[in-house]
Amino acid sequence: MLLQSHKARDKAVRFRVCQLINRLFQNLGDDAAIDDSLYEEVYSAMQIRLRDKFPVVRVHAVLALARLQDPSDPSCPIVAGLIFSSVLRMYEIWSVS
């Protein structure tokens, strides 16, 4: 239900969805694992939010995606896909392991 709300018209709702997902991932332990289907849903939703017209939504989408990255994989789609916007570069550099 939470992930379905990322498409809401209200920017505050989109922001809170990205923020909540980010906070949930921050509170997971370093050795935590998530189901592949959940990974795909979150990845897909946050990729869409990376192109949101409001910067605060984009920033929290980057932070949520940073937790899903695989730093040991040089072809990780998250690392490869994040660096495209000058607004987000500072947050991306801080977030990428």
For residue range 6-65, list pLDDT tens digits in order: 777 889 999 999 999 989 988 888 788 888 898 889 888 988 888 888 888 888 888 888
Binned at pLDDT 50, 70 and 90, residue 79 comes out as: low
pTM: 0.74
Question: Higher model confidence: residue 18 or residue 83?
Answer: 18
Residue type (1 letter), 13 = V
Residue 82 has pLDDT above 70, yes or no: no
Give pLDDT, residue 83.
Answer: 52
Distances (CA, A) of 75 to 3, 35, 60, 85, 97: 26, 20, 23, 19, 14
Helices and strands: H and E segment counts in the chain: 5, 0
Distance CA 59, CA 40 (A): 19
Residue 73 has pLDDT above 70, yes or no: yes
Distance CA 69, CA 77 (A): 8
> Once rounded to an integer, what is the mean pLDDT over residues 56-76?
80
